[in-house]
Structure 1
Amino acid sequence: MRVYIGFDDTDNKNANRGTGKLARWFEKELPEGCRMWGVCYCPYDKSHIKIHLYENP
């Protein structure tokens, strides 16, 4: 199974982390058997990020 998740942390301009760091924190919390396959930034919008997850069969 593949899952696509989008992150947007632009609600707080003064945050001490970026969207990429938020995605990496999320990756550390994935259950066993799942892993993050990749990260991509949306063109023309540097404040959003998508991650691609998949579960090992």
Structure 2
Amino acid sequence: MDKKRGLGMFVSANARRRIREERTRRFARDFVLPLKREAALLGLSDEDIAKFMSKEEL
């Protein structure tokens, strides 16, 4: 959002891209990093995680 004095607020040209980037950062922080930490405790590799991710059913 951009504020223009006397005119109000407007959606910035990059709003969609910036929102997507922020959501991607939060997803990595809140889901991917904890998943990788837990996988490491179980002795699982990134390849093991990828195999789980490609399965339709576990």
* Superposed pair shares fold, TM > 0.5: no
Higher relative CO (Cα under 8 Å, sequence separation at least 6) belongs to: 1
Q: Quick check: which one's strand share is greater?
A: 1
Q: What TM-score does the superposition give when structure 1 sets the normalisation length?
A: 0.27
Larger helix percent: 2
Structure of larger gyration radius: 2
